[in-house]
C-alpha cells in the first residue's frame, strides 16, 4: 500500500493514547513510531526527519500546565524549523495549545478525539511541512535556472526620473504593481528593482513569462499539481505562486493571458490560496505580484480582452515606461554603458564613437527600445575592426516603403504573406525573436506560435 507520507512520531506517556494514535495514522504514514518520553524525541530528530509529530504537553504526574511539552516543542523547532508538530491536549487546555501554536506548533487535537479529526489534522500539518520544503527547494531551483539581470536602470531624462520616483514609493509597500511599456523598455529590470527594494528581498523573485506558457500548462505552472493529476504527472510539483510565497511573483506578458484563464488567477490572488491540479485542498500563499505587459492601458480597459476586476487587483500602482524614442537624451548614456560592458566581456579595445555616428544613432527610432540598443552595441563591439566605431558596425535596419511593398506584391495569400513578413522581421533582427516580435507588434509567445505554424 502506498502511503502519502513516510514517518509520524507520537510522543505520549499513556500507552493507550499512543496506540490509538498509531492505529488512526497507519493509512497515512509508512511508519508510525511511538515514544513514551519527549527526551527520546531529540536524538531521533538528529537521525530522521518525521513528516509529522504528535506531542503531548504533560508528562509529569499531575502536571496540567503544559510547561514540559512547551519546553520540548521549542527544542524541536530549534532542530527543525519546518517540523510539523500537532499538540495533544485535554479539553479545557485550549489556552496552552494556543501558546504552543505561537511557539511553532502546526495545530492541536483534544482528547478524546475522533480518528477522522486526528487524521485530517495530522495530514494537513504534514502537507504544510512538505509545501514549505518544496517551496524553498523550488525557489532555489528557479534562482539557478532564471538568470538575474545585472542591467541597471539607466538614464537621466525627466521620464526616467519619474519612473524612479514611482519605484521608490511603491517598492517598500506590498501593493501590487502593473508595469506598462513597449517591448524592450526594461519592464523586467523595473520589476527586479521593486523586489530588491522591498521587504521581501531576502527571498528570490519568481518570474513567469505568460506569453510563452501554453494554455494547457497554465494551471500546472502557476498552481502546481499532484502526482497522477494528468498523464506525465509522475511526481507532485509546486506551482510558481507557492514558490513565490513570502516573495514577489513577476508575471510578464500578463496582457496575453487568455480571458477564460483570468478568473483562475483572480481567485488565487483574492483568496490568497491555490489548489494544485488534482488536489482538493487549498494551500495558503503570501505573494506580492508585479505584472508587466506591452498592451496599452486602453486595450486593457476593454472588458472583451481583460477582466476589469483582475486589472484592479493588479494595478494598485501603475508604472508606464517610456519608449527609447521618447527619451533620446538617454541614448549616449546607454551606448557608453553597453559598449564598455561588451568590450570588457569580449576583451576588445575601447573604441571612440564619432559624433556623426552618434548623431545617426540618436535619430534612429529604436523599435526594440533599450533591448535593441543593447544588442546593437554588442554586435558593434564584436564586428568593429577599425580605430573608431562606424555606423555599419551597428545593425540598424534600413526600412523603406519600396522594400516593404516588394514582399507584399509577391502574393495575396494571407498565410504566405504572414510567413514572408515573419521571415523578413527575423532576418532584419538577425533572428532575435524578441526584436522581431516587437517589429511585428506581437508578443514573443504569439510569434513563437506563428513560427511553429509556418515551420520556421
- SS3 at position 90: strand
The DSSP bridge pattern shows strands 283-284 and 107-111 to be unpaired
Helices (H), 292-365: 297-300, 308-314, 331-345, 355-363
**Per CATH, the architecture of 5-129 is what?**
3-Layer(aba) Sandwich (3.40)
Relative orientation angle of helices 94-102 and 67-79, to the nearest 10 degrees? 20
- SS3 at position 293: strand
pLDDT at position 284 = 92
Q: Which three cell numbers stand for residue 106?
A: 502546526
State the Cα–Cα distance between residues 309 and 346, nearest whole angstrom.
Answer: 49
pLDDT at position 85 = 92
Q: Are the folds of 5-129 and 158-320 the same? A: yes
CA dihedral of residues 97, 99, 105, 110 (deg, nearest 10): 0
Q: Which DSSP state fits 128?
A: H
The DSSP bridge partners found for residue 90 are 111
The DSSP bridge pattern shows strands 29-35 and 5-11 to be parallel
Residue 393 CB contacts under 8 Å (≥ 6 apart), including other chains: 379, 380, 383, 384
pTM above 0.95, yes or no: no
pLDDT at position 419 = 79
Q: How far is CA 361 from CA 239, 302, 342, in A?
A: 44, 37, 18
Domain 324-393, CATH among 3.40.120.10, 1.10.8.60, 3.40.640.10, 3.40.50.300: 1.10.8.60
Relative orientation angle of helices 433-440 and 414-428, to the nearest 10 degrees? 130
Q: How far is CA 304 from CA 240, 293, 299, 313, in A?
A: 27, 17, 9, 17
pLDDT by 10s per residue, the chain, length 456: 668 889 999 999 888 889 999 999 998 999 999 999 888 898 898 888 999 999 988 877 666 677 888 888 989 988 888 889 998 887 555 677 778 877 888 888 888 888 888 988 898 888 878 876 766 665 555 444 444 445 678 999 999 999 999 999 999 999 999 999 999 999 999 999 999 999 999 888 999 888 777 788 888 889 988 888 777 777 778 889 998 999 999 999 999 899 999 999 999 999 999 999 888 888 999 999 999 999 988 899 999 899 999 999 999 999 999 999 999 999 999 999 999 999 999 999 999 999 999 999 999 999 889 999 999 999 999 999 988 999 999 987 654 333 343 444 445 566 777 778 888 887 776 667 777 777 787 777 777 778 777 777
pLDDT at position 170 = 94
pLDDT at position 117 = 83
- Using a 10 angstrom Cβ sphere, with 0-12 exposed, 13-18 middle and 19 or more buried, the burial of residue 323 is middle
Q: How far is CA 148 from CA 3, 138, 139, 143, 179, in A?
A: 39, 16, 13, 8, 18
CATH superfamily of 158-320: P-loop containing nucleotide triphosphate hydrolases (3.40.50.300)
pLDDT at position 408 = 42
Residue boundaries of the structural domains of the chain: 5-129, 158-320, 324-393, 401-453
Instruction: State the DSSP string of 393-454.
Output: GS------HHHHHHHHTT---HHHHHHHHHHHHHHHTTT-HHHHHHHHT--HHHHHHHHHHT
246: left (phi over 0), alpha (psi -120 to 50) or beta: left
11: how many CB neighbours lie within 10 A of its CB? 26
pLDDT tens-place string over residues 203-237: 889 998 887 777 888 888 899 888 887 777 777 78
CATH class of the region 401-453: mainly alpha
Find out whether 313 and 178 touch, Cβ atoms under 8 Å: no
Residue 283 CB contacts under 8 Å (≥ 6 apart), including other chains: 127, 131, 224, 242, 273, 274, 275, 276
How much of the chain is in helix, strand and coil states, percent to nearest 5? 50, 15, 35
pLDDT at position 178 = 97
pLDDT tens-place string over residues 285-331: 999 999 999 998 889 999 989 999 999 999 999 999 999 999 999 99
Amino acid at each position: 500500500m502506498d502511503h502519502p507520507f513516510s514517518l509520524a512520531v507520537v510522543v505520549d506517556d499513556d500507552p493507550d493514547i499512543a496506540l490509538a494514535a498509531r492505529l488512526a495514522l497507519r493509512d497515512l504514514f509508512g511508519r508510525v513510531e511511538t515514544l513514551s518520553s519527549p527526551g527520546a524525541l531529540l536524538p531521533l530528530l538528529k537521525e530522521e526527519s518525521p513528516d509529522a509529530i504528535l506531542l503531548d504537553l504533560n508528562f509529569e504526574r499531575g502536571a496540567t500546565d503544559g510547561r514540559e511539552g512547551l519546553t520540548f516543542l521549542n527544542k524541536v523547532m530549534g532542530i527543525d524549523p519546518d517540523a510539523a508538530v500537532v499538540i495533544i491536549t485535554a479539553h479545557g487546555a485550549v489556552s496552552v495549545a494556543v501558546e504552543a501554536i505561537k511557539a511553532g506548533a502546526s495545530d492541536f487535537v483534544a482528547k478524546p478525539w475522533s480518528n477522522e479529526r486526528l487524521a485530517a489534522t495530522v495530514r494537513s500539518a504534514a502537507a504544510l511541512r512538505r509545501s514549505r520544503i518544496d517551496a524553498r527547494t523550488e525557489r532555489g531551483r528557479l534562482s539557478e535556472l532564471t538568470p538575474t539581470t545585472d542591467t541597471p536602470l539607466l538614464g537621466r531624462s525627466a521620464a526616467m526620473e519619474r519612473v524612479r520616483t514611482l519605484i521608490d514609493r511603491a517598492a517598500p509597500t506590498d501593493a501590487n504593481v502593473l508595469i506598462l511599456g513597449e517591448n524592450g523598455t526594461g519592464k523586467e529590470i523595473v520589476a527586479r528593482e521593486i523586489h530588491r527594494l522591498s521587504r521581501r528581498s531576502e527571498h528570490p523573485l519568481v518570474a513567469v513569462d505568460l506569453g510563452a506558457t501554453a494554455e494547457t500548462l497554465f494551471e500546472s505552472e502557476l498552481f502546481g499539481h499532484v502526482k497522477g493529476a494528468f498523464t506525465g504527472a509522475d511526481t507532485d510539483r509546486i506551482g510558481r505562486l507557492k514558490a513565490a510565497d513570502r516573495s514577489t511573483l513577476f508575471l510578464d506578458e500578463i496582457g496575453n493571458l487568455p480571458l477564460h484563464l483570468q478568473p483562475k488567477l483572480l481567485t488565487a490572488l483574492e483568496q490568497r490560496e491555490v489548489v494544485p491540479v488534482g488536489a482538493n485542498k487549498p494551500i495558503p500563499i503570501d505573494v506580492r505580484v508585479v505584472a508587466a505587459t506591452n498592451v496599452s492601458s486602453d486595450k486593457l480597459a476593454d472588458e472583451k480582452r481583460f477582466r476589469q476586476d483582475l486589472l484592479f487587483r493588479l494595478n494598485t500602482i501603475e508604472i508606464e515606461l517610456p519608449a527609447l524614442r521618447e527619451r533620446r537624451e538617454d541614448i549616449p548614456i546607454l551606448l557608453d554603458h553597453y559598449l564598455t560592458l561588451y568590450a570588457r566581456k569580449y576583451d576588445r579595445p575601447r573604441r571612440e564613437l564619432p559624433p556623426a555616428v552618434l548623431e545617426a544613432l540618436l535619430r534612429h527610432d529604436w523599435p526594440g527600445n533599450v533591448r535593441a540598443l543593447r544588442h546593437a552595441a554588442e554586435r558593434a563591439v564584436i564586428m568593429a575592426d577599425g580605430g573608431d566605431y562606424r555606423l555599419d558596425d551597428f545593425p540598424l535596419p534600413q526600412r523603406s516603403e519600396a522594400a516593404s511593398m516588394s514582399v507584399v506584391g509577391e502574393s495575396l495569400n494571407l498565410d504566405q504573406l504572414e510567413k514572408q513578413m515573419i521571415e523578413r522581421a527575423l532576418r532584419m533582427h538577425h533572428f532575435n525573436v524578441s526584436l522581431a516580435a516587437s517589429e511585428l507588434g506581437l508578443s514573443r509567445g504569439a510569434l513563437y506560435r506563428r513560427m511553429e505554424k509556418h515551420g520556421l
